[in-house]
Amino acid sequence: MSEEKKMTLDKFEEACEQVKKVTLETKLMYSDYFSAQSGNKVYLKPENMQRTGAYKVRGAYYKISTMSDEDRKKGLITASAGNHAQGVAYAARQYGVHATIVMPTTTPLIKVNRTKALGAEVVLQGDVYDEAEAYAKKLAKEKGYTFVHPFNDLDVATGQGTIAMEIFKELPTVDYILVPIGGGGLVSGVSTLAKLLNPKIKVVGVEPSGAACMNASIKEGKVVTLPGVNTIADGTAVKTPGDKIFPYVQENVDQIIKVDDEDLVVAFLDMVENHKMIVENSGLLSVAALKQLRCKDKKVVCVLSGGNMDVITMSSVVQQGLIRRDRIFTVSVLLPDKPGELSRVSGVIAELGGNVIKLEHNQFVSINRNAAVELRITLEAYGTEHKTQITQALEEKGYRPRLVTTQI
C-alpha cells in the first residue's frame, strides 16, 4: 500500500484541523456510576451530543474536503442506516452540493426525517445496510454520482479517528478505549491513531452479538460475510466489514467483545437514569461491554457513537430495561372467587411498597371458581431484592405466587 493511501499521523492531523470546522466539542465525562460498576475509572466520550447526533460527520466532512470540485459537483451519494446519512447530508450542505442517501427500510423515522431536513434526497431500499449499499452503488453508476462509503474508505476512517486525538489531549494517560463496531470505519481510525500516539493504549472493539461480522472476520483472517444480522443496534447491523480498513483492525485492535441485545437494553436504562443522556443502542455497545472487560483500576474511555433514536424505540427499550432490572414484574396468584380477596392481595403488596400497574382476572383457570381464580398482577418494584420480598410475602399468605413473562 502506497504512503498516500495509508492512514498516517500527518493525515490524522490534517483531518483534525478540517473537522474542527463542523464538529462540536464533546469533552470527556467521568462516570461515577460505571466506574463503581466496573472497578475502573470510566470516562464517556459523548459523540451522541455531536452535530447531527453522531460521530459520522467527522469522516463525511473530511472525505468530502479531500475531493476535487469536479467530483463534488457531480453530486454525492451514500448508503447508511442513519448517522452517516446525516453526516454526508450536513457536509454536502456546507459545500453547497446535492446529496442522495439510500437508507434501509428499517431505519428509524427520526434518522430519515433529520436527513431530509439537512437537504438530502432520501431513498429507502433494502432491509439491511448491505442491500441499501448495493442500490446506492447502482444509482451512482447510472447517474454519475460520487459514492461516499460510510466505513470502507481510508479518508472516512481517518476523519473518524480524530476522536482519538481529542481523547488523548484530554486524558493522555488513558489505558483503554472501547469503540463500537459496525463496518469498522470508526474502530480502524481510532485504533490506528491511538497506537500512533501511544502503542501501549489498548483499543477494544465492541459488536452486537447478532451482527458480529468483524469478530468472524478476525477469526478467519479475512473479510467474511454473515448470512444475516439480527440486532436492535441498527447502526451497527452490518453483514460485511470493510476490506480496506480490515488490515488496520487486525493490526491495531487488541480485542473484540460481543454484546447481547439484552445488555444494551439495560445499558440504555443506566445511561438515562445516571447521566440523563439518550444514547442509541449502537452507541451503547462500549458501555455494555464494560462488565466483560478483564481489568481493574484502569482509565477507560467509552465512545458513545450516536444518540439518534426514535421515541417509540426509546419507550420500548425503557420498558424492557425496567423488566430486566426487576423494576417491573408480573406475578400470578390463585385465590378464591369471593369478595375481599383482591383487597387482601393488594394489601400485602401495598404494605411492602409495591405499586400495581395492571391487573388481569381469569375466572376460568379452574372449573371450581370457589376454589381458585387466577389474578395476574403487574407491578413496580425497586429491584430484585424488593421483588423477592413481595413474592415471599404472597407465598406466606398462601397465594402460591408464580412469576410470568411481563407484557406491558
The CB density around residue 197, as the number of other CB atoms within 10 Å, is 18
Catalytic residue among 56, 202, 244, 387: 56
358 catalytic? Reply is: no
Which helix (DSSP H) or strand (DSSP E) does residue 205 occupy? strand 202-208
Question: Do the bridges between strand 255-259 and strand 202-208 make them parallel or antiparallel, or are there none, so unpaired?
Answer: parallel
Comparing CA positions, the residue from 48, 52, 62 lying closest to residue 7 is 62
In the DSSP assignment, the letter for residue 235 is: G
Instruction: Give the separation between CA 74 and CA 98, rounded to whole angstroms.
Output: 8
Instruction: Give the separation between CA 183 and CA 208, rounded to whole angstroms.
Output: 12
SS3 category, 272: helix
111 catalytic? Reply is: no
Q: What order do you get walking across the sheet with 299-304 strand by strand?
A: 29-30, 41-46, 299-304, 176-180, 202-208, 255-259
Residues 207 and 193 sit within 8 Å (Cβ to Cβ): no
The CB density around residue 174, as the number of other CB atoms within 10 Å, is 23
Catalytic residue among 217, 299, 305, 387: 305
Question: What is the number of alpha carbons within 13 Å of residue 347 lying toward its C-beta?
Answer: 7
SS3 category, 138: helix
C-alpha R_g of the chain: 25
332: exposed, middle or buried (Cβ count in 10 Å: 0-12, 13-18, 19+):
middle
Q: Which residues are catalytic?
A: 56, 305
